[in-house]
Chain A
């Protein structure tokens, strides 16, 4: 599973980094971030690309999600 750390990156870099991974063929990604905006944007992108999401952690420190491409 490819791990992508988007903590502290300003818009739209979190989305670009995740998109780059998908475009390179990743079917399973783990994303780590620390703002609600980046979580919303990254989730939206993954949903639109046919991934199912699992938010594994979300607290005031940040969030972590795992996504798998639907077969």
Chain B
């Protein structure tokens, strides 16, 4: 019971911080969005050329480092990996494609609902169905195999160290390539140009990383545990985020209910549904939503780190191949990629049964 209050309160804090980040400059209903921010990072390091979504988001760096420090203090940092790493990488690619067809990860879905975006409710229903489909495969014996604990910590430190390097580049502003502008690219307009001050974003990331590490907050896990073992503990975090964000959205005057004209959203409901359906089934098979994968990466989980890199690469592909949606909707190739992703998850889900 006490733990339920703790995770609910954690959720409320995350919801409040998210809306404060929007107030301080982040794009609408995007105080936090793991998928969108990893996509911005993919753009910042030049992996895609969508000029409007390029920024080295300090929130992501903070989440990983916050989880790393907390795990180290709690004695939970363990370098581990080897559970179908390539399969997880590819699943990360498609989890990102699903998120970019919808325009947000499950965390942003909650924040969008809390801003009054009804399209996000359609996405949420898709997410619930996706998680339920994942649970179906789990019950059938789905298993990607055991991870091994490494005899060296170095592997688990690699992703956090890359984040430290990204932070260094962001703060230092070094230019390797004066003609084109690398190593980091920054949007001059569009969502990528909208950002809260670096110190605030980084601090928010670290704090949320700490809280999420302690509470094991996971959005797909919340629904999964409800379906699988009738346990609503993780779901309380979900509810907390929604409540915290709704209250702050009303306070700041951001709450605008409706389908039309929502910030960075489209109204093609089939694709809102299927986009998050793909994210839901993939996250359930992977054992955690995009947020949880980041936190696990900070704890030394190299398989989760492979998912994070898969998502960054997936974002680059999604923008280079025009899979990603825009406020105008989802183009044909994006629709095809989303359906391919769902079929792939069904195939993997069925093939990786034990016994």
Contacts and interface: CB of A to CB of B under 8 A. Distances in A.
Interface of A: 7-13, 15-16, 19, 34-37, 40, 44-45, 48, 60
A45 B149 CA distance: 25
B148 A8 contact: yes
A44 B231 contact: yes
B70 to A, nearest CB: 12
Contact of A11 (B74, B75, B80, B287): B287
A45 B229 CA distance: 8
Interface in B146-188: 146-149
A20 to B, nearest CB: 9
A48 B287 CA distance: 22
A60 B78 CA distance: 9
Contact of A7 (B146, B224, B229, B287): B146
A4 to B, nearest CB: 13
B303 interface: yes
B138 A16 contact: yes
Contacts of A15: 228-229
B23 interface: no
Contacts of A8: 80, 83, 146-149
Interface string B201-239: 000000000000000101001001100110101000000
A10 B75 contact: no
A26 to B, nearest CB: 16
Interface of B: 74-76, 78, 80, 83, 138-139, 143-144, 146-149, 216, 218, 221, 224-225, 228-229, 231, 233, 286-288, 303
Nearest to B143: A13
Contacts, number: 51
Given A9-B147, A45-B229, 20 more contacts: A8-B80, A8-B146, A8-B148, A9-B143, A9-B146, A10-B83, A10-B286, A10-B288, A11-B287, A12-B225, A12-B228, A12-B229, A15-B228, A15-B229, A16-B139, A19-B229, A34-B149, A36-B76, A44-B233, A48-B229
23 contacts: A7-B146, A8-B83, A8-B147, A9-B143, A10-B144, A10-B288, A11-B218, A11-B221, A11-B287, A11-B288, A12-B138, A12-B225, A12-B228, A12-B287, A13-B143, A16-B138, A16-B139, A35-B76, A35-B78, A40-B216, A44-B233, A45-B229, A60-B75
Contact of B228 (A16, A36, A44): A16
B287 A10 contact: yes
A56 B149 CA distance: 21
A36 B80 CA distance: 14
A2 B100 CA distance: 45
Contacts of A9: 143, 146-147
A15 B147 CA distance: 16
B147 A10 contact: yes
B260 to A, nearest CB: 38
A19 B138 CA distance: 12
A9 B228 CA distance: 17
B28 to A, nearest CB: 32
